[in-house]
Amino acid sequence: MKLTALHVLFLGLVLVLAAPRPGQAQAAPNRSSVSASSNAQDSGSGIKAHDDNFVIGNDDVLAISVWKEAELSKSVPVRSDGKISLPLVGEIQAAGRTPLQLENEITDKLKNFITTPEVTVVVEKVNSRKYNVLGEVTKPGSYPLTTDTTIMDAIAAAGGFRDFAKKSGVYVLRKGPDGHESNLKFNYKEFIKGKNSAQNVKLEPNDTIIVP
């Protein structure tokens, strides 16, 4: 189909109207959307800023960020007494609280110095929640418990069984709140045959898997 002069004129008018005007810029994302996007990302530990299911513990490393206050934004470890130290805020209890609870308390304390403080608390490293894998595995040692982890997950993380491991005699040492220690048996040979799958339990902090 041939374009007439009228068609050409009409297309030119459409292009002129659609083109951005001089000095016109795209709207920049507001701070809240940027913050929400940042908070939705993990900090390398798998823990989100507002994860109410995670409780901060001793030796965890926290990233404290105060909007537009570079001197107040820093990475701090939770001491053995469960506290952290921050400029203007001083010492504050961190262990036993969720990131959101700590964030709210820091915000309240900073109101004495900053008009509208905006604080974000992210757990950078989880050192308080661990489990151990000992015995006949490729990489025995201590591992962070940052997500739901089963016995099989833990053995896989430790590199799997060594050649002479007694796969039917694996067990988990677990200490209860009263200090009593219990043994949870795990028979790998039965498990891989589809028998007693319930024995592949989720680990709890400070569990120790023994592979004889």
Please tell me the predicted confidence (pLDDT) of residue 28: 43
Q: What is the pLDDT of residue 40?
A: 37
Shared fold status for 32-125 and 130-211? no
Per-residue model confidence (pLDDT) at position 9: 52
The hierarchical CATH code for the domain 32-125 is 3.30.1950.10
CATH architecture assigned to 130-211: Roll (3.10)
DSSP conformational letter for 135: E
3-class state of residue 70 by DSSP: helix
Q: What is the pLDDT of residue 127?
A: 87
Expressed in angstroms, the distance from the first to the final Cα of the chain is 83
- Look at residue 136 in the predicted model and tell me its pLDDT: 97
Residues facing residue 171 across a β-bridge: 185, 210
Helices assigned H by DSSP within 19-150 = 31-39, 99-110
User: Where exactly are the structural domains of the chain?
Assistant: 32-125, 130-211
Pairing, β 130-135 against β 141-144: antiparallel
Instruction: Give per-10-residue mean pLDDT for the chain (212 aa).
Output: 52 53 46 38 47 83 93 93 93 94 94 93 89 97 90 96 96 88 94 92 94 96
The pLDDT value given to residue 95: 93
The reported pTM is: 0.58
Q: Which value, to the nearest 10 degrees, does the dihedral of the CA atoms of residues 42, 48, 54, 60 take?
A: 60
pLDDT at site 27: 44
Q: Are strands 130-135 and 208-211 parallel, antiparallel or unpaired?
A: parallel
